[in-house]
Amino acid sequence: MDAIVEHTGFASNEPEAEKIIKLAVMALGGQGGGVLAGWIEKCARSQGYAVQTTSVAGVAQRTGATFYYLEMAPNEGKEPVFALMPSAGDVDIVIAAELMEAGRAVLRGFVTPDRTTLIASTHRALAVSEKIAPGDGRADSSEVMASLEIASRRLIADDMEAKAAEAGTVISASLFGALAGSSALPFAREAFESAVKDSGRRAEASLIAFESGFQAAAEPVAISARVEEFKHAELPDPKGKDSLLAKWRELELKLSEIPAPARDMAYRGLRKVVEFQDLRYGREYLDKIALAARSDREEFGFELTREAAKHVANAMAYDDVIRVADLKTRRSRFVRIRGEAGAKDEDILRVTEFMHPRAEEICGMLPAKLGRFVEQNPRLMRIIDRLFNRSRRLRSDTFLAFIRLYVIGGMKWYRRSTLRHAVESDHLENWLTAALIYAKSDYRLGVESLRARRLIKGYSDTHSRGQSKFDKIMNGIERVSSREDAARWARLLREAALKDSEGTELDGMLSTISTFASVAEFSEADSAAKE
């Protein structure tokens, strides 16, 4: 069958088909794609065009990808025959209400370099598959942005969602403005605007968003400037009592002993641990980083120190009850939450926290010795569990709930005596020592061992699962440590562990490792025998 059928590819249309303007709208359910298509149709009709809209609206409200397609031509008596769906390589204008949907339009061949004006919103609405990975499963936006430029004849790309949000409406309005601003349709701005005005409800907000969309298209900024470049914001200098600031300066001075490429990371880490506990804790942190720096080598760009600065800070600022309570009761948080909710000063905002401590967390708060004793006594654990393990919803805007959190959040003075602190410190010590030993014989493996720490995160069950994955990786690393490609395996193990929560991929990779590890042992034994 395929033998007879040739793909016509980009072969140009004959002139007759070019009289028709073809426009596709790719959106997500709930973004107002239908409203947008309606506006375009109305606008074109008012300008004496014959128009046809079709849609696949089966799941329009249910967050999946949706599709609207319009064709139009000047009305010259007899009705034109319009197609009901777009053909690859034969679409003049594509409007995509989200970055990956723009990518999908390219993928489906609706955006082609010879003809298509692409109006795309650069914001992201993540698909479920991108969100559920325990690591970072997000699709590569920069790759898609680059493709949009290549694939389209003309690209208008901007964060149309932000513009709509600013105006308090949905994205259809800013996209419609961008369509008007692009001059891709032969209609004057007023024709577009009156379509919006006629739609009645919320027309005002829509017109504001329309205006900013129009501007974005009419005065396009260079695309490269729009690609989200990851530049870190400057950190504000710490504020506080002079005595504290003086001690902080001392720490900052000590920071200069850290190799330059790792210094920024160490500075951030230092802030984090001091904020978590106190200045003394910060000094301990710097000592640990200095330890890593001593094993480090310049030819690798001090990667070891940088990774240590990052992961040691995270390990030292572990998520205990005190930290959570402290963060929940800060003034700056209250200000942020009110801002997010758009609450004005006189507005009332109630805040409910969802807490659920288990016996383990309670036990972790006990003095280390007592905590260990309780932990090893299942009966005691059951009693504690019965007493404490229940859902606690705290209205942190009320005095009684606030004061409970406030008191806990102020227990930093006691933190160093807790079981949790002892456990975390031991763990940190073992891990850092192991990594630095690996680094001596295999620099890259040392770096990868530090990075394995990324797996430990979350609370309760999630935390234990992360911990067990971390242990598995460290065991795996031990097994491969004598191999030349050990660092590669360590990286693969970490990547596998971050892919699914159950650790299925990780276990698969570990069993691979165990096969060749045993082969290696065998062949070692074999060669020893020969000698």
Partner 1 sequence: MAERSFAREVQKLKLGDGEIFEGEGILAITKALLECGVGYVGGYQGAPISHLMDVLADAEEILGDLGVRFEANASEAAAAAMLAASVHYPIRGAVTFKGAVGVNVASDALANLSSAGVTGGALIIVGEDYGEGSSIMQERTHPFAMKSQFWLMDPRPSLPTIVDAVEHGFELSEASGTPVMMMVRIRTCHVTGTFKTRGNRRPPLTVRDALANPRREYSRVVLPPMTYVQEQDKIRNRWPAAEKYIFENRINEFFGPDDSNIGIVLQGGMYNGVVRALQRLGLADITGESKVPLYVLNVTYPLLKDEWIEFAARKKSVLVVEEGQPEFIEQALGSLLYKNGCDTALPGKEFFPMAGEYTGQVMLDAVAGFIRANAPELLPDRQRAPNREDELPEVPDLSKTVPIRPPGFCTGCPERPIFAALKMVEQELGSHQIAGDIGCHLFAALPPFEIGGTTMGYGLGPASNGAFDGGGEKRSIAIIGDGGFWHNGLSSSIGNAVFNKSDSVILVVDNFYSAATGGQDILSSRAGNSTKSTKHPIAEAVKGVGVEWVREIDRTYDVGRMRDILREALTTDYSGPKVVVASSECMLNKERREKPKREAAIKGGHRVVKPRFGVDEEICTGDHACIRLSGCPSLSLKKLDDPLRDDPVASIDRFCVGCGNCGEVADAAILCPSFYRTDMVCNPSRFELFLSKARRLIIRGLQDYRARGRLDFGTA
Task: Decide the pairing of beta strands 392-395 and 154-158.
Answer: unpaired
Distance CA 213, CA 245 (A): 47
Of 480, 466, 464, 467, the C-alpha closest to 517 is: 480
Whether the Cβ atoms of residue 54 and residue 86 lie closer than 8 Å to each other: no
Torsion of CA 190, 193, 194, 199, to 10 degrees: 170
521 is written with which tokens? 């042992």
Nearer to partner 1, 276 or 438 (CB): 276
Write down the least CB distance from residue 496 to partner 1, Å.
15
**Torsion over CA of 432, 437, 438 and 440, rounded to 10 degrees?**
130
In the complex with partner 1, the residue whose CB is nearer, 384 or 513, is: 384
- Number of neighbouring beta carbons within 10 Å of residue 427: 17
Q: Between residues 51 and 292, which has the closer beta carbon with respect to partner 1?
A: 51
If the CB atoms of residues 100 and 493 are measured against partner 1, the closer one turns out to be 100
What's the min distance (Å) between Cβ of 362 and partner 1? 13
Least distance between partner 1 and beta carbon 509 (Å): 20
**Parallel, antiparallel, or unpaired: how do β-strands 93-96 and 49-56 relate?**
unpaired
- What count of Cα atoms within 13 Å lies in the side-chain half-sphere of residue 195? 24
Nearest distance from C-beta of residue 146 to partner 1, angstroms: 7
Question: Minimum distance from CB of 365 to partner 1 (Å)?
Answer: 14
The residue (of 17 and 221) whose beta carbon lies closer to partner 1 is 17
The answer to whether 178 and 217 have CB atoms below 8 angstroms apart is: yes
Cross-strand partners of 24? 69, 94
For partner 1, the closer of residues 41 and 448 by Cβ is 41
Q: Which residues of 242-268 are buried (b: 16+ CB within 10 A; e: fewer)?
A: eeeeebbeebeebbeebbeebbebbbe
At residue 50, φ and ψ (nearest 5 deg) are -85, 130
Between 28 and 486, name the residue whose CB sits nearer to partner 1.
28
Decide: 210 and 163 in contact? Cβ < 8 Å: no
Nearer to partner 1, 126 or 188 (CB): 126
From the CB of 483, what's the least distance to partner 1, in Å?
26
Q: Which one, 331 or 530, has the nearer CB to partner 1?
A: 331
Q: Which H or E element spans position 144?
A: helix 141-151
The least CB distance from residue 508 to partner 1, in Å, is 19
**Amino acid at position 43, single letter:** C
Residue 283 is classified by DSSP as H
The length of the chain in residues reads: 531
